[in-house]
A = this chain, B = another copy of it.
Amino acid sequence: MADYKAPLREMHFLLHEVFAAEKLWAELPQLSGVVDRETADAILEEMAKLAANTLDPINRSGDEEGCHWRDGEVTTPAGFKEAYATFCAGGWGALLGNPEYGGMGMPKMLGAQVEEMLNAANISFALYPVLTNGACLAIDAHASETLKRKYLPRMYEGTWAGAMDLTEPHAGTDLGIIRTRAEPCEDGSYCITGSKIFITGGDQDLSENIIHLVLAKLPDAPKGPRGISLFLVPKYTVNEDGSVGGSNNVRCGSIEHKMGIKASATCAMNFDGAQGWLVGEVNKGLAAMFTMMNYERLGVGIQGLGASERSYQNALAYARERIQSRSPAGAQQPGQVADPIIVHPDVRRMLLTQKALVGGGRALSTYVAQWLDIAKFGEGDARKNAEAMVALLTPVAKAFTTDMGLDCTVLGQQVLGGHGYIREWGQEQLVRDVRITQIYEGTNGIQALDLVGRKTVANGGALFEVFATDVQNFIDSEVDCEAMAEFIQPLAAALQRLREATGNMIAATREDPCAPGAASVEYLHLFGYVAYAFMWAKVVSVAQARQEEDSFYRAQVKTARFYFARLLPRTQGLAASVNAGSAALMDMEEALF
């Protein structure tokens, strides 16, 4: 397996040339003194080193060893504890944190690149700090000042980690039916009792404490999702002076044996009268979770992206080294018994598909991160516009980038032929690891329902228009550029196809409540391919003029050309399927399946 090398050039190009991040940062008061191009590049370079030197080397071994559970305690694989210490010592846990409590207050646009490197090197490792980040976001947004002062600084340090405890054996997608109970105590705290499953980092041996955010119901809570509250429940109680006290009746009952991310502990957690504190308002626990959800969901998309990039790097290295058969255009290396397989058109198809999807995914993640930053740090109409973009694009960034993540890692595995199936080559691990990203943090089917339902049909396509306007403005701005015509024309046609599908779906819903659900996943894919086309057109609009000066730009233009010629046409079949309506799905009696 090739060593991981972070794609810093691509990241600089996107941040500084395509999205002009520095200009945005200078305009936003909370960022202007905090981050500029030089700082950002220095941060990226440091993470590139950490990913390559510390996290990548324990990725394969972590998969082989897995986590261990004994008597309620989880041990992570060899090297994880040391790597976590290095991570914390570098201050990485504080990167996006609130400066009032010790965070660095950096923008998500930068954080997205950092996360890509973390995940490309080691998804299992990355999950520990990622879950802590998520917990911090929810605490920062909704907890009392007391809780924030007590917990956030230690969590930003990484001394304490976080975990999100939502799912129960009978309640995954449908959190409205959870059974975990929260009984009010006299001192204002709550007594939490119940069982949770699939808790990432629910227990581990990396941090001295674990801060659980637990969804539970008060005794008098209304039924369904409007009766759920959120509680902060530490594994060990925390004394008044901030030191760690004794056990809080939070126990890891077992860990799951999974397809992948084996070095990430997926825990069944038992809360047996554990002491917890309310975060946010009573019965508004789900809303409190949603604050961090956009960040987390984009983050999962970036996991798919990281695995894709890693898979591409390995496949490319193999395709350049492995010699097998001759090019159809005649021997390219007559001195050898065969040519390197990168000469074969179909191997190039597999590599370019990965490269085009990775480039599109990285650009889309950065674009969504930009809107998250404006939604967080901006004001007025700009902020409103950004919130609309975030709401609409988050399910696409999560689901499409992870669906493409499976495709990319499968292609990267296929380039290696038989060796791709052998564990020591590392490619098959990426397939197993990335597969979870399509499932957790809301399955991709749920993302698609969110996109078509709450985000599109419910507002009559108003959010869609915000996005479509951004695409159309870009098209209008480039329409006179002859060199861009080969991209702008198919982009306009694809946008039109998406617009029609959107309109059809909204119209169909008036008479058919099953219409959005029937179209949802294919609609999300249609949307995703159009969004990537938009991203590639933006990339080309910068790269086109500089092709002569640097082959990096030429590679961008040629990859975009591949995307438009070979991948964007998939929208044709997707649109036809979206427009087919729900009858073919719903007419089947249940007994006939």
Give A contacts to B, CB under 8 Å: 167, 170-174, 177, 197-198, 256-260, 316, 319-320, 323-325, 328-330, 337-338, 342-352, 355, 406, 410, 413-414, 417-418, 420-424, 428, 431-432, 435-436, 438-440, 443-445, 448-449, 513-514, 516-518, 520-522, 551, 554-555, 558-559, 561-562, 565-567, 569-574, 576-577, 580-593
Question: Are A588 and B414 interface neighbours, CB within 8 A?
Answer: no
Q: What would 11 more interface pairs be, CB under 8 Å, given A174-B325, A258-B422, A431-B435?
A: A257-B424, A259-B432, A345-B586, A414-B439, A414-B445, A421-B436, A522-B566, A551-B589, A555-B593, A562-B584, A566-B585
Question: Are B257 and A422 interface neighbours, CB within 8 A?
Answer: yes
Contacts of A198 on B, CB cut-off 8 Å? Answer: 418
Question: Are A580 and B569 interface neighbours, CB within 8 A?
Answer: yes
- B351, B414, B558, B581: the one contacting A443 at CB < 8 Å is B414
Question: Are B577 and A324 interface neighbours, CB within 8 A?
Answer: no
Contacts of A259 on B, CB cut-off 8 Å? Answer: 421-423, 428, 431-432
Question: Are B586 and A348 interface neighbours, CB within 8 A?
Answer: yes
Contacts of A566 on B, CB cut-off 8 Å? Answer: 522, 577, 580, 584-585
Contacts of A581 on B, CB cut-off 8 Å? Answer: 565
Q: Can you name 29 A-B pairs with beta carbons within 8 Å?
A: A172-B417, A173-B325, A173-B417, A174-B338, A198-B418, A258-B421, A316-B593, A320-B590, A328-B516, A345-B514, A346-B520, A352-B584, A352-B585, A413-B435, A414-B445, A417-B439, A418-B439, A420-B439, A428-B435, A432-B432, A551-B589, A558-B584, A558-B588, A558-B592, A562-B585, A566-B584, A567-B577, A569-B574, A570-B573
Tell me the smallest distance from the CB of A461 to a CB of chain B, in Å: 18
Can you name the residue of chain B whose Cβ is closest to the Cβ of A438? B414
| A interface SS class | helix
Contacts of A350 on B, CB cut-off 8 Å? Answer: 445
Tell me the smallest distance from the CB of A24 to a CB of chain B, in Å: 30
- Count of chain copies: 2
